[in-house]
Protein backbone atom coordinates (compact mmCIF):
# COMPACT_ATOMS: atom_id res chain seq x y z
CA UNK A 1 0.00 0.00 0.00
CA UNK A 2 1.47 3.42 -0.84
CA UNK A 3 2.50 5.42 2.22
CA UNK A 4 -0.02 8.18 1.46
CA UNK A 5 -2.86 5.65 1.49
CA UNK A 6 -2.07 4.15 4.88
CA UNK A 7 -4.75 4.77 7.53
CA UNK A 8 -3.80 7.61 9.87
CA UNK A 9 -4.19 6.77 13.57
CA UNK A 10 -4.17 9.43 16.28
CA UNK A 11 -2.55 8.20 19.52
CA UNK A 12 -3.50 10.42 22.46
CA UNK A 13 -3.62 8.04 25.41
CA UNK A 14 -0.85 8.59 27.93
CA UNK A 15 -0.01 4.90 28.32
CA UNK A 16 1.02 4.45 24.68
CA UNK A 17 2.53 7.93 24.49
CA UNK A 18 4.82 6.93 27.36
CA UNK A 19 6.10 4.09 25.16
CA UNK A 20 6.07 5.94 21.87
CA UNK A 21 8.96 4.11 20.14
CA UNK A 22 7.38 0.73 20.87
CA UNK A 23 3.91 1.63 19.64
CA UNK A 24 5.11 3.77 16.77
CA UNK A 25 6.81 0.66 15.41
CA UNK A 26 3.84 -1.60 16.21
CA UNK A 27 1.33 0.67 14.46
CA UNK A 28 3.56 1.03 11.40
CA UNK A 29 3.93 -2.76 11.28
CA UNK A 30 0.12 -2.96 11.29
CA UNK A 31 0.05 -0.74 8.20
CA UNK A 32 -0.91 2.55 9.85
CA UNK A 33 0.64 6.01 10.06
CA UNK A 34 0.54 7.01 13.76
CA UNK A 35 0.05 10.64 14.77
CA UNK A 36 1.63 11.59 18.10
CA UNK A 37 0.33 14.82 19.70
CA UNK A 38 1.86 16.52 22.72
CA UNK A 39 -0.37 15.46 25.63
CA UNK A 40 0.15 16.10 29.36
CA UNK A 41 -2.82 14.09 30.68
CA UNK A 42 -5.59 14.28 28.08
CA UNK A 43 -6.65 16.58 25.25
CA UNK A 44 -9.30 19.26 25.66
CA UNK A 45 -11.86 19.97 22.96
CA UNK A 46 -9.72 22.60 21.23
CA UNK A 47 -6.72 20.30 20.92
CA UNK A 48 -8.93 17.48 19.65
CA UNK A 49 -10.48 19.77 17.04
CA UNK A 50 -7.02 20.74 15.79
CA UNK A 51 -6.10 17.11 15.08
CA UNK A 52 -9.12 15.07 14.03
CA UNK A 53 -9.90 16.35 10.54
CA UNK A 54 -7.85 13.76 8.68
CA UNK A 55 -7.61 10.68 10.89
CA UNK A 56 -9.03 7.22 10.24
CA UNK A 57 -8.65 5.77 13.72
CA UNK A 58 -8.11 7.07 17.24
CA UNK A 59 -6.40 5.40 20.19
CA UNK A 60 -7.90 7.75 22.75
CA UNK A 61 -7.30 8.54 26.38
CA UNK A 62 -9.62 10.60 28.56
CA UNK A 63 -9.89 13.20 25.80
CA UNK A 64 -12.86 15.56 25.39
CA UNK A 65 -14.46 13.74 22.47
CA UNK A 66 -17.47 16.01 22.15
CA UNK A 67 -20.09 16.19 19.43
CA UNK A 68 -18.15 19.04 17.81
CA UNK A 69 -15.03 16.90 17.75
CA UNK A 70 -16.84 13.92 16.26
CA UNK A 71 -18.52 16.06 13.63
CA UNK A 72 -15.11 17.46 12.67
CA UNK A 73 -13.75 13.93 12.40
CA UNK A 74 -16.63 12.61 10.29
CA UNK A 75 -17.00 10.97 7.89
CA UNK A 76 -13.38 9.82 7.74
CA UNK A 77 -13.05 8.54 11.31
CA UNK A 78 -13.83 4.81 11.32
CA UNK A 79 -13.62 4.15 15.05
CA UNK A 80 -12.29 5.10 18.48
CA UNK A 81 -10.41 2.53 20.54
CA UNK A 82 -10.37 3.97 24.07
CA UNK A 83 -7.36 2.83 26.09
CA UNK A 84 -8.77 1.30 29.28
CA UNK A 85 -12.32 0.97 30.52
CA UNK A 86 -13.89 4.38 31.17
CA UNK A 87 -15.48 6.12 28.19
CA UNK A 88 -17.29 8.95 29.99
CA UNK A 89 -15.29 11.63 28.17
CA UNK A 90 -16.78 10.50 24.83
CA UNK A 91 -20.18 11.71 23.61
CA UNK A 92 -21.73 8.32 22.92
CA UNK A 93 -24.95 9.72 21.49
CA UNK A 94 -23.00 11.76 18.96
CA UNK A 95 -20.80 8.80 18.10
CA UNK A 96 -23.89 6.67 17.46
CA UNK A 97 -25.50 9.41 15.35
CA UNK A 98 -22.37 9.66 13.21
CA UNK A 99 -21.77 5.92 12.97
CA UNK A 100 -18.45 5.96 14.85
CA UNK A 101 -17.97 2.82 16.97
CA UNK A 102 -16.43 3.31 20.42
CA UNK A 103 -14.49 0.35 21.81
CA UNK A 104 -12.79 -0.20 25.15
CA UNK A 105 -11.48 -2.99 27.41
CA UNK A 106 -14.24 -3.60 29.97
CA UNK A 107 -13.27 -5.29 33.22
CA UNK A 108 -9.57 -5.30 32.40
CA UNK A 109 -8.43 -3.52 35.54
CA UNK A 110 -10.60 -5.16 38.18
CA UNK A 111 -7.73 -6.85 40.03
CA UNK A 112 -5.20 -4.07 39.52
CA UNK A 113 -7.44 -1.26 40.76
CA UNK A 114 -8.85 -3.30 43.65
CA UNK A 115 -5.36 -4.01 44.95
CA UNK A 116 -4.38 -0.34 44.79
CA UNK A 117 -7.65 0.66 46.44
CA UNK A 118 -6.81 -1.38 49.52
CA UNK A 119 -3.18 -0.32 49.41
CA UNK A 120 -4.26 3.32 49.60
CA UNK A 121 -6.96 2.63 52.19
CA UNK A 122 -4.38 0.93 54.41
CA UNK A 123 -2.02 3.88 53.97
CA UNK A 124 -4.70 6.03 55.61
CA UNK A 125 -6.20 3.65 58.17
CA UNK A 126 -2.81 2.49 59.48
CA UNK A 127 -0.95 5.78 58.81
CA UNK A 128 1.66 3.96 56.76
CA UNK A 129 2.72 6.86 54.56
CA UNK A 130 2.93 9.22 57.55
CA UNK A 131 5.10 6.73 59.42
CA UNK A 132 7.38 6.24 56.43
CA UNK A 133 7.87 9.99 56.01
CA UNK A 134 8.50 10.47 59.72
CA UNK A 135 11.15 7.74 59.86
CA UNK A 136 12.94 9.19 56.84
CA UNK A 137 12.97 12.55 58.68
CA UNK A 138 14.60 10.95 61.74
CA UNK A 139 11.52 10.11 63.77
CA UNK A 140 10.27 6.82 65.18
CA UNK A 141 6.48 7.24 65.61
CA UNK A 142 4.04 4.70 66.99
CA UNK A 143 0.63 5.79 65.63
CA UNK A 144 -2.52 3.84 66.38
CA UNK A 145 -4.50 2.63 63.37
CA UNK A 146 -7.94 1.33 62.50
CA UNK A 147 -8.38 -2.36 61.63
CA UNK A 148 -10.57 -3.29 58.66
CA UNK A 149 -12.02 -6.49 60.15
CA UNK A 150 -15.50 -5.75 61.39
CA UNK A 151 -15.70 -2.38 59.64
CA UNK A 152 -18.32 -1.58 57.00
CA UNK A 153 -17.20 -0.98 53.41
CA UNK A 154 -19.63 1.12 51.40
CA UNK A 155 -19.17 0.61 47.66
CA UNK A 156 -20.50 3.14 45.18
CA UNK A 157 -20.50 1.15 41.97
CA UNK A 158 -20.49 -2.64 41.98
CA UNK A 159 -19.33 -3.46 38.46
CA UNK A 160 -16.17 -5.39 37.62
CA UNK A 161 -13.86 -3.17 39.65
CA UNK A 162 -16.33 -2.43 42.46
CA UNK A 163 -17.20 -6.10 42.75
CA UNK A 164 -13.55 -7.04 43.07
CA UNK A 165 -12.96 -4.37 45.73
CA UNK A 166 -16.02 -5.67 47.59
CA UNK A 167 -14.61 -9.20 47.41
CA UNK A 168 -11.31 -8.10 48.90
CA UNK A 169 -13.23 -6.23 51.58
CA UNK A 170 -15.01 -9.43 52.57
CA UNK A 171 -11.64 -11.22 52.64
CA UNK A 172 -10.49 -8.60 55.16
CA UNK A 173 -13.55 -9.46 57.25
CA UNK A 174 -15.53 -6.34 56.35
CA UNK A 175 -19.27 -5.99 56.04
CA UNK A 176 -20.06 -4.72 52.54
CA UNK A 177 -22.97 -2.50 51.52
CA UNK A 178 -23.43 -0.79 48.17
CA UNK A 179 -25.13 1.86 46.11
CA UNK A 180 -25.56 0.75 42.52
CA UNK A 181 -29.01 1.14 40.91
CA UNK A 182 -28.24 -1.76 38.58
CA UNK A 183 -27.49 -4.23 41.41
CA UNK A 184 -29.85 -5.94 43.81
CA UNK A 185 -29.66 -4.68 47.38
CA UNK A 186 -28.63 -1.14 46.47
CA UNK A 187 -29.20 1.45 49.19
CA UNK A 188 -29.51 5.21 48.86
CA UNK A 189 -26.26 7.27 48.91
CA UNK A 190 -27.01 9.11 52.16
CA UNK A 191 -27.92 5.85 53.90
CA UNK A 192 -24.62 4.38 52.74
CA UNK A 193 -22.77 7.49 53.91
CA UNK A 194 -24.24 7.18 57.39
CA UNK A 195 -23.42 3.48 57.78
CA UNK A 196 -20.01 2.99 56.17
CA UNK A 197 -16.58 3.24 57.78
CA UNK A 198 -14.81 3.17 54.42
CA UNK A 199 -16.56 4.52 51.32
CA UNK A 200 -15.04 3.59 47.98
CA UNK A 201 -16.04 4.99 44.58
CA UNK A 202 -15.73 2.58 41.67
CA UNK A 203 -18.46 3.74 39.30
CA UNK A 204 -18.54 5.37 35.89
CA UNK A 205 -19.01 9.13 35.72
CA UNK A 206 -22.40 10.22 34.36
CA UNK A 207 -24.34 13.46 34.24
CA UNK A 208 -26.51 12.06 37.03
CA UNK A 209 -23.73 11.28 39.52
CA UNK A 210 -21.36 14.19 38.94
CA UNK A 211 -20.50 15.63 42.38
CA UNK A 212 -22.42 12.80 44.04
CA UNK A 213 -20.02 13.22 46.95
CA UNK A 214 -21.07 16.72 47.95
CA UNK A 215 -21.34 18.63 51.22
CA UNK A 216 -24.57 16.85 52.18
CA UNK A 217 -23.03 13.41 51.58
CA UNK A 218 -19.87 14.32 53.50
CA UNK A 219 -21.95 15.70 56.38
CA UNK A 220 -23.77 12.37 56.56
CA UNK A 221 -20.52 10.40 56.91
CA UNK A 222 -19.14 9.35 60.28
CA UNK A 223 -16.35 11.57 61.58
CA UNK A 224 -14.20 8.41 61.74
CA UNK A 225 -14.91 7.44 58.12
CA UNK A 226 -12.57 7.51 55.12
CA UNK A 227 -13.42 8.25 51.49
CA UNK A 228 -11.55 6.45 48.70
CA UNK A 229 -11.95 7.47 45.04
CA UNK A 230 -10.66 5.02 42.44
CA UNK A 231 -13.08 6.11 39.72
CA UNK A 232 -13.34 9.67 38.37
CA UNK A 233 -12.45 12.97 40.02
CA UNK A 234 -15.68 14.84 39.19
CA UNK A 235 -17.68 12.34 41.23
CA UNK A 236 -16.45 14.35 44.22
CA UNK A 237 -17.00 18.03 44.95
CA UNK A 238 -13.33 18.61 45.78
CA UNK A 239 -13.89 21.91 47.61
CA UNK A 240 -16.46 20.24 49.87
CA UNK A 241 -14.08 17.33 50.49
CA UNK A 242 -11.24 19.66 51.43
CA UNK A 243 -13.54 21.52 53.82
CA UNK A 244 -14.68 18.24 55.42
CA UNK A 245 -11.08 17.10 55.90
CA UNK A 246 -10.00 20.45 57.31
CA UNK A 247 -12.89 20.53 59.76
CA UNK A 248 -12.42 16.93 60.86
CA UNK A 249 -15.95 15.94 59.88
CA UNK A 250 -14.39 12.93 58.11
CA UNK A 251 -11.17 11.17 59.10
CA UNK A 252 -9.29 10.92 55.83
CA UNK A 253 -9.24 10.20 52.12
CA UNK A 254 -7.46 7.98 49.59
CA UNK A 255 -7.54 9.58 46.16
CA UNK A 256 -6.28 8.28 42.83
CA UNK A 257 -8.30 10.79 40.76
CA UNK A 258 -9.12 14.48 40.97
CA UNK A 259 -11.34 17.14 39.42
CA UNK A 260 -8.29 18.68 37.70
CA UNK A 261 -5.33 16.50 36.75
CA UNK A 262 -2.42 16.69 37.32
CA UNK A 263 -3.09 17.97 40.83
CA UNK A 264 -2.21 21.66 41.17
CA UNK A 265 0.92 22.54 43.14
CA UNK A 266 -1.06 24.59 45.65
CA UNK A 267 -3.89 22.09 46.18
CA UNK A 268 -4.52 21.82 49.95
CA UNK A 269 -4.81 18.03 49.71
CA UNK A 270 -1.04 17.87 49.28
CA UNK A 271 -0.48 19.20 52.79
CA UNK A 272 -2.84 16.82 54.60
CA UNK A 273 -1.26 13.90 56.44
CA UNK A 274 -4.58 12.05 56.57
CA UNK A 275 -4.83 11.91 52.77
CA UNK A 276 -3.13 9.38 50.48
CA UNK A 277 -2.59 10.60 46.93
CA UNK A 278 -1.88 8.83 43.66
CA UNK A 279 -1.59 9.93 40.04
CA UNK A 280 -4.65 8.38 38.33
CA UNK A 281 -2.59 5.23 38.08
CA UNK A 282 -4.46 2.55 40.03
CA UNK A 283 -4.54 0.43 36.86
CA UNK A 284 -0.75 0.07 36.82
CA UNK A 285 -0.51 -3.72 37.09
CA UNK A 286 1.90 -4.97 34.42
CA UNK A 287 -0.29 -7.84 33.23
CA UNK A 288 -3.39 -5.68 33.08
CA UNK A 289 -1.64 -2.88 31.18
CA UNK A 290 -0.19 -5.28 28.64
CA UNK A 291 -3.59 -6.91 28.13
CA UNK A 292 -5.17 -3.51 27.48
CA UNK A 293 -2.39 -2.51 25.09
CA UNK A 294 -3.07 -5.66 23.07
CA UNK A 295 -6.84 -5.29 23.16
CA UNK A 296 -6.70 -1.62 22.16
CA UNK A 297 -4.63 -2.47 19.08
CA UNK A 298 -7.02 -5.34 18.34
CA UNK A 299 -9.97 -2.97 18.62
CA UNK A 300 -8.58 -0.44 16.17
CA UNK A 301 -7.65 -3.20 13.74
CA UNK A 302 -11.24 -4.43 13.84
CA UNK A 303 -12.41 -1.23 12.16
CA UNK A 304 -9.36 -0.34 10.02
CA UNK A 305 -8.41 -3.81 8.88
| Sheet of 152-156, strands arranged across | 175-179, 152-156, 198-201, 226-229, 252-255, 275-277
Instruction: Kindly name the residue from 164, 178, 280, 293 that is annotated as catalytic.
Output: 280
280 part of the active site: yes
Burial class (CB in 10 A: 0-12, 13-18, 19+), 77: buried
Instruction: Determine the Cα–Cα distance for residues 186 and 180; give it in Å rounded to an integer.
Output: 5
232 part of the active site: yes
CA atoms within 13 A on the CB side of 80: 33
Helix (H) / strand (E) element for 302: namely helix 286-304
Helix (H) / strand (E) element for 57: namely strand 57-60
261 part of the active site: yes
3-state SS class at 276: strand
Instruction: Kindly name the residue from 45, 71, 115, 261 that is annotated as catalytic.
Output: 261
Instruction: Kindly name the residue from 164, 179, 232, 293 that is annotated as catalytic.
Output: 232
Catalytic residue numbers, as ranges: 232, 261, 280
Amino acid sequence: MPETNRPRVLVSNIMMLNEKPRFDAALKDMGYDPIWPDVTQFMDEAQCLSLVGDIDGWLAGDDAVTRRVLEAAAPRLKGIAKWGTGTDSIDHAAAADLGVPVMNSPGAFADAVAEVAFGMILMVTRQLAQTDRAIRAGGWPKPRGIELRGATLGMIGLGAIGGRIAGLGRAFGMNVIHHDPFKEGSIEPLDLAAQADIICLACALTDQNRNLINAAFLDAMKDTAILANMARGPLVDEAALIAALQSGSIAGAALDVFEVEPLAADNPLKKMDNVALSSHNANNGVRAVEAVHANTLKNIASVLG
